Amino acid sequence: MDFVVALPKTEGGYDSVLVMVDRLTKMVHLAPCTSSCTAEQTARLFFDNIRLHGVPKNVVSDRGSQFWSKFWEALCKLVGMRVNLSTAYHPQSDGQTERTNRTLGDMLRNFAGRTPLVWDMFLTAAEFALNNAVNRSTGQSPFFLNYGFHPALPVWRELEVNVPAAKTFAKSFLSRMTDAKSCLDAAQQRATDFYNKSKQDVVFSEGQMVLLSTENLRSFAEGSHKLLPRWIGPYPVERMVGNAAVKLVLPTDMNIHPTFHVSLICPYRGTEPVANANDTPTAVEPGPETWIAGKQKEYDVERVLDNCTRCVGKHRRKRMVHEYLVKWTGYSS
């Protein structure tokens, strides 16, 4: 399960959707909610929607505040359900809901693109279309795998009725179902084409030295992120986690989860010592470093090369700051 957030706020006050996907049958349940949804409210939405399936043995979710709260942890113990939190920056951990989120976004964009404040009205049609579509992984629709048959679809019948509101409602519902089917087919085809175009199977061996991308490690830097190194390391590989993630052996004071998606890892190719001065120089090895509170690096200053003072801020918030150009110990110029 996962949240789709930052949607336009509807008249009912909804701005998010809780997405739940069954691992085996791929059945989807969509529950409108708010971005301020608490752990208790999330639990109510979850059990209200999966009540017809029974309590699952385990659930995969991201590391949202609702899912690692003490309330959620205690509740899962009471009902005998294990929660597996996804690893940091590892989209395949809860890939089913991540994939569904993107498909749902495409569908709602087509449904309510011109009237974004009523997207919650199309949520039931989107859920029905997702569950009635044949899944490429299973070869069957979620409805068929759960119930053994496909539910009857509404068929428009031109009848003379004395209740125009009923006629309008039925026609509107049928129209939403037709649109949902076409939007779902288009979204699935686009996702398949885009993913297969750049998909590569990567395997790292145990003990192999690799570099880690700093794309998601911006919190480790002070000030501007523009000149951060794109890769840090090298670090040895402890093991592969499935086919799409790698667990690294990181420094103990580097307080982050050690499992990363393969797209954030690249092989380290160290350079051999040069034979003469005309050859390409060897790469400069990183100098000594320590970590402050597990989030920020601390370096030793060899000497100060230059300094300046400048004014920052506007109006009453103006203040003088001192800047220093320094030579770090153990690093080249």
Mean pLDDT for 27-48 is: 91
- Answer whether residue 176 shows pLDDT above 60: yes
Q: Residue written as tokens 């017809």?
A: 52
Sign (positive/negative) of CA torsion 88, 94, 98, 101?
negative
pTM across the whole model: 0.51
Query: 60: exposed, middle or buried (C-beta count within 10 Å: 0-12, 13-18, 19+)?
Result: buried
pLDDT of residue 14: 92
Q: How many percent of the chain have pLDDT more than 70? A: 71
- Answer whether residue 222 shows pLDDT above 80: no
Residue 317: DSSP 8-state: G
Q: How many percent of the chain have pLDDT more than 90? A: 9
Q: Residue written as tokens 């799409």?
A: 244
pLDDT of residue 274: 34
Cβ neighbour number for residue 295 with a 10 Å cutoff: 14
> What whole-number distance in Å separates Cα of residue 324 and Cα of residue 175?
65
What Å distances lie between residue 207 and 149, 169, 234, 249, 272, CA to CA?
50, 63, 11, 9, 19
> What whole-number distance in Å separates Cα of residue 313 and Cα of residue 187?
46
The helix (H) or strand (E) run that includes residue 138 is none
pLDDT of residue 18: 92
- Answer whether residue 34 shows pLDDT above 50: yes
Q: Using 50, 70 and 90 to split pLDDT, how confident is the model at 45?
A: very high
Query: 304: exposed, middle or buried (C-beta count within 10 Å: 0-12, 13-18, 19+)?
Result: exposed
Q: Using 50, 70 and 90 to split pLDDT, how confident is the model at 228?
A: low
> What whole-number distance in Å separates Cα of residue 245 and Cα of residue 263?
8
